[in-house]
Amino acid sequence: MKAVGARLPRYDGVAHVTGQTQYVDDIRIRGTLWTKALRSPHHNAAITRLDTSKAEALPGVHAVVTHKDVPHNVYGHLEALGIPADEPLLAVDEVRYKGQPIAAVAAVDEDTAREAVSLIEIEYEERPAFFDIRKAMDPDSPQIHQWGPVYPHFGSYNHRRVRKGDIDAAFEQADTIVEGVYRPQAIEHCPIEPQTALVVPEANGRLTIYSCTQAMYFSMGVVAAHLQWPLNKLKFVGGTVGGGFGGKVDTASETISALLALKAKRPVKWRWTREEEFLASSTRAPWHMELADAVTSDGWILGRRMTTLHDAGAYARFSPYGVTKHAFHHTGAYTIPNVHFDGFVVFTNRVPTTAMRGFGVTSVSFAVETHMNRIAEVLGIDPLQLRLKNANRIGDTTPNRVVLKDPSTVPVVLAAADRVGYDLPDEYKSMTNERRSGDLLPPHLVDQLGGSDASTNGGGR
């Protein structure tokens, strides 16, 4: 308890400011080969010809790998959680985003590796690319995957659904319907340290993998699955990550480097360039969110209809998980007794998206808080008073029927108002997060206390 409330020096601070921190790229091992990848120049294309023979014959090249060298080519980080994978480690017959890896080489230096990549003979049949998630359901839109425009594995549905209360009654009883569309865009993590991995074959048959991954055991499991190896044949060495923010959770650099190291029987390092980071690393997802709230003239939110389109890019990766979190947080810090939510993971021909700083929740929080201000403006109500009135309280239930035990919305809003000198009426200043009663328990909220009629697909009741 000595650390609570105390100012503590960073344990790694001195090493950082004196230049003593060791990153993956600082590790030097004699005989290390360098990796470069052949990446797709197209957003969507069939691969009609692939010949690596000239690259293999180049002096200084020790290994070339394609999908044929991968024991188990399709696997994903979330497959262990029951979320089926859809992305090949190295492309097979087609590419679905610009920058998708098709082949990789290991050579004595980076220049030789680059030359080898340029010698790989490949031909494409380019296809129309699709980027507008709003048109995903149009029959004329290009289909990225054979199963359709959206990720289909949410229980018995092809999207994440949340239903609670009687949404139709809420909209019939409302004095006003406030609508809004919110579209946060993709963001590149842009870490100072690019994706880097070093794989060393050991004399005992194991692989030692130095990685800048943010998710050590995720990455270990993925490498083991692709190689079809037991985990005890892999030794992962992490360390300081030179910036990640979620973008170093689902890198494939370790696995591709491992394949090359096994084939070459030499240590292999892959250090992405800044261009590769921007071209092929995962980003935060773009979202398209449509909200419609049924509200009363005095500021109660009776119900919310929301449809979300999540741009997963060419493959699902973490998107189903992100949309699930998004669904369960789509009412924000507020109690809305009647909800109707549909969230779709939409495929496009952009680079696959991934985690970034609370992904799924940050996007919907932006939409919810912006929408609260819009409601306040439409009704002519103070925006903080609107928030305090509808704030979560003890005993309230979330969209997926979780009973709240100690919600912090009221004390946090009051503390923020006090800190900036925001003047609130006494009746609001005296509010707490205690269980609803009196004026804070209008008829439309009575039935939701401690439980309600809610259902969510794919996650049980």
Selection from 221, 285, 234 nearest residue 75 by Cα: 221
- pLDDT for 451: 46
Distances (CA, A) of 116 to 33, 206, 312: 13, 28, 32
pLDDT in tens, 373-425: 999 999 999 999 999 999 999 999 999 889 999 999 999 999 999 999 999 99
Q: Is the pLDDT of residue 459 over 60?
A: no
- DSSP codes, 134-178: GGTT-TTSPPSBTTBSB---BTTBSSEEEEES-HHHHHHH-SEEE
Closest by CA position to 258, among listed 316, 232, 219: 219
Q: Determine contact, residues 262/201, Cβ cutoff 8 Å.
A: yes
Give 196-234 pLDDT, tens digit per residue: 999 999 999 999 999 999 989 989 999 999 999 999 999
Distance CA 33, CA 107 (A): 5
DSSP state of 71: S
CA dihedral 254, 255, 259, 260 (to 10 degrees): -30
Which one has a higher pLDDT value, 251 or 49?
49
* pLDDT tens string 253-277: 999 999 999 999 999 999 999 999 9
Phi, psi for residue 371 in degrees, rounded to 5: -70, -35
Q: Is the pLDDT confidence value at 290 over 60?
A: yes
Would you state the pLDDT for residue 418? 96
pLDDT exceeds 70 at position 456: no
pLDDT above 60 for 452: no
β-pair type (176-182, 287-295)? antiparallel
Q: Which residues contact 187 (CB under 8 A, 6 or more apart)?
A: 283, 284, 356
Which among 199, 303, 316 is positioned nearest to 261, based on CA atoms? 199
DSSP label at residue 434: S
- What would the two tokens of residue 119 be? 């010698």
pLDDT per residue over 116-163, tens digit each?
999 999 999 999 999 999 998 888 888 899 888 999 989 888 999 999
Burial of 54 (0-12, 13-18, 19+ CB in 10 A): middle
Amino acid 65 reads V
Q: pLDDT at residue 460 above 60?
A: no
The stretch 364-374 carries a mean pLDDT of 98
**CA 337 – CA 171 distance, rounded (Å):** 12
H or E segment and range at residue 28: none
Counting residues of the chain whose pLDDT is more than 90, the rounded percentage is 81
Q: Are 199 and 43 in contact (CB under 8 A)?
A: no
Position 458 scores a pLDDT of 43
Q: To the nearest whole number, what is the mean pLDDT of the chain?
A: 94
Tokens matching residue 272: 């992405």
Query: Among the CATH numbers 3.50.50.60, 3.40.120.10, 3.90.1170.50, 3.40.50.2300, which is that of 24-126+189-272?
Result: 3.90.1170.50
Which sign, positive or negative, has the C-alpha torsion 131, 137, 139, 144? Answer: positive
Q: For residues 36 and 41, what is the distance between their CA atoms, to the nearest angstrom?
A: 15
Q: What is the mean pLDDT of residues 172-188?
A: 97
pTM: predicted TM-score of the whole model, two decimal places: 0.92
pLDDT of residue 454: 52
Pinpoint the alpha helices (H) of 70-215: 110-119, 167-173
Residues 349 and 96 sit within 8 Å (Cβ to Cβ)? yes
pLDDT at residue 455 in the model = 59
- pLDDT tens by residue, 54-89: 999 999 999 999 999 999 999 887 787 777 889 999
In this predicted structure, the answer to whether residue 41 has a pLDDT above a threshold of 50 is yes
Indicate the SS3 state at residue 324: helix
Q: Give 338-363 pLDDT, tens digit per residue.
A: 999 999 999 999 999 999 988 999 99
What pLDDT, on the 0 to 100 scale, is given for residue 120?
A: 99
Residues in the chain: 461
Distance CA 320, CA 297 (A): 37
Give the integer Cα–Cα distance in Å for 402 and 329. Answer: 11
pLDDT at 3: 84
Amino acid at 354: T
Mean pLDDT over 17-35 rounds to 96
Q: Where are the domains of the chain?
A: 24-126+189-272, 160-186+285-456
Strands, E, within 165-300: which ranges?
Answer: 176-182, 187-188, 196-201, 207-211, 234-237, 268-271, 283-284, 287-295
Given the DSSP bridges, would you call strands 207-211 and 234-237 parallel, antiparallel or unpaired? parallel
The answer to whether 383 touches 376, Cβ cutoff 8 Å, is yes
Closest CA to 44 of 91, 9, 78, 107: 91
d(CA 24, CA 209): 10
Mean pLDDT over residues 21-43, rounded?
Answer: 97
As a whole number, mean pLDDT of residues 155-175 equals 95
Instruction: Identify the architecture of domain 160-186+285-456 in CATH.
Output: 2-Layer Sandwich (3.30)
207's CB contacts (< 8 A; 6+ apart) are 199, 200, 201, 223, 233, 234, 235, 258, 261, 262
